[in-house]
């Protein structure tokens, strides 16, 4: 599998994992203190080949994703479910711990930012659906993020990503049905 875009990752171990799974070039942010030189490299990459942001499914990874996404509009995003990013011995979470299969799957399901976000799904819809502020809401958001391939989010981030990736009411409703079906089967 060859990826034409340049993949933004957090560090060298992520680059190694990506190169095991696909043929691609990477830019490493070297942690969450993304400097201006790195941002300029990513801007150039976006103009020339396009960019896929592929960071760890944790707070620092989300912070990097937000910094890069704000500074470099129009990036694509690849998300790895948390359960696919856990180290074999349970110590550590990140792209570097993911299997070749999980990395390929994440990169084949990239989501593209849209310039004009859709406002079809309101914040209150998320509250009403039990995705924010109730028992089990975190688990439901995690399942929904996996189904929609937009990653795990807190409530505010979920609303933002639904808009950013122009998830329609229909797509949201179908995914929510699957999440709620899982709740009923417990």
pLDDT attached to residue 22 = 96
Q: SS3 sequence, 48-78? A: HCCEEECCCCCHHHHHHHHHHHHHCCCCEEC
- Please say whether the dihedral angle defined by the alpha carbons of residues 95, 96, 98 and 99, taken in this order, is positive or negative: positive
Q: Give pLDDT tens digits along the chain (186 positions).
A: 889 999 999 999 999 999 999 999 999 998 778 899 999 999 999 999 999 999 999 889 989 998 999 899 899 999 998 888 888 776 788 899 999 999 999 999 888 876 655 557 888 889 988 999 888 899 999 899 889 988 888 888 888 888 888 888 888 999 999 988 875 555
pLDDT attached to residue 183 = 59
Report domain extents, the chain: 1-113, 116-186
Query: Are the C-beta atoms of residues 17 and 103 closer than 8 Å to each other?
Result: yes
1-113 carries CATH number 3.30.530.20: no
Token pair, residue 116, equals: 């004009």
Cα–Cα dist 124/147, whole Å: 21
> Residue 111 forms beta bridges with which residues?
77
pLDDT attached to residue 106 = 93
3-state secondary structure of 7: strand
């Amino acid at each position: 599998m060859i990826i034409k875009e340049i993949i933004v990752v957090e560090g060298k171990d992520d680059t190694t994992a990506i190169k095991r799974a696909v043929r691609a070039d990477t830019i490493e942010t070297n942690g969450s203190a993304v400097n201006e030189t790195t941002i300029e490299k990513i801007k150039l990459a976006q103009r020339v080949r396009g960019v896929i942001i592929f960071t760890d499914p944790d707070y620092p990874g989300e912070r990097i994703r937000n910094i890069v996404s704000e500074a470099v509009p129009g990036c694509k995003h690849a998300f790895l479910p948390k359960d696919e990013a856990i180290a074999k011995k349970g110590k550590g979470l990140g792209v570097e711990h993911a299997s070749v299969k999980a990395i390929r799957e994440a990169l084949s399901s990239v989501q593209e930012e849209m310039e004009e976000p859709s406002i079809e799904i309101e914040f209150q819809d998320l509250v009403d659906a039990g995705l924010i502020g109730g028992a089990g809401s975190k688990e439901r958001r995690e399942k929904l993020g996996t189904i929609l391939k937009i990653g795990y989010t807190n409530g505010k981030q979920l609303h933002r990503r639904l808009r950013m990736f122009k998830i329609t009411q229909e797509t949201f409703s179908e995914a929510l049905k699957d999440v709620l079906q899982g709740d009923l089967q417990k």
